[in-house]
Amino acid sequence: MNGERGGLIMTFTRAACACGRARAECALRAVLRSRMMEKWAALFAIIYIFSWQTVILASADPISNGRAAFAACSACHSTAGVEDSGPHLNGLLGRKAGSVSHFDYSPAMKNASIVWDSQTLDQFLANPQQQVPGNRMPFTGVADGAKRADIIAYLATLK
């Protein structure tokens, strides 16, 4: 009986796989390949996660986001200290509303008792007509609070 068992085991290990190798060798290679694939998969997963983290971190910069969002505002407002169809916005935070010389403000904006800070600017950007009824700015506002915060962060850098 022992001889038969031993013979069966020997027959199994010496039997050829479809690829021509011994089954035991083929099985070992398959295990090694699967472990290598696991390592490669783990490496690619880590690279993928970090690449998205970089994108998220890059988009989390409020000043850069604000500069991008300000593009719509730049159709009327300058950041170079010159008036266009809207007043320049250099040094806006801390400035009284309607106080840029050489700009023709609406009476509503001239008479507004607003000094621009983060809070008053946020309220104005959300709904300009509600904050200063009768102002001439043809703009309905920025509904997204995060976008307003980014724009304000960008404006705060303009001196």
- The two structure tokens encoding residue 38: 């696991």
Report pLDDT for 11: 44
- pLDDT at residue 120 tops 90: yes
Task: Report, at the CATH architecture level, how domain 62-155 is classified.
Answer: Orthogonal Bundle (1.10)
Tokens of 54: 């970089």
Model confidence at 2: pLDDT above 90: no
- Comparing 15-19, 46-50, 94-98, which segment has the lowest mean pLDDT? 15-19
DSSP string, 54-116: HHHHHHT-HHHHHHHHGGGGGGT--SSS--SSS---TT-TTPBTT--TT----HHHHH---B-
* Span 146-156, average pLDDT: 95
Q: Which of 24-38, 70-84, 100-114 has the lowest mean pLDDT?
A: 24-38
Residue 155 backbone phi and psi in degrees, to 5: -60, -30
For the chain, give every domain's residue range: 2-59, 62-155
- Give the pLDDT confidence of 6-39 residue by residue, as tens digits: 444 444 444 555 566 566 666 666 666 676 667 6
Place of tokens 């479809």: 18
State mean pLDDT over 80-98.
Answer: 93
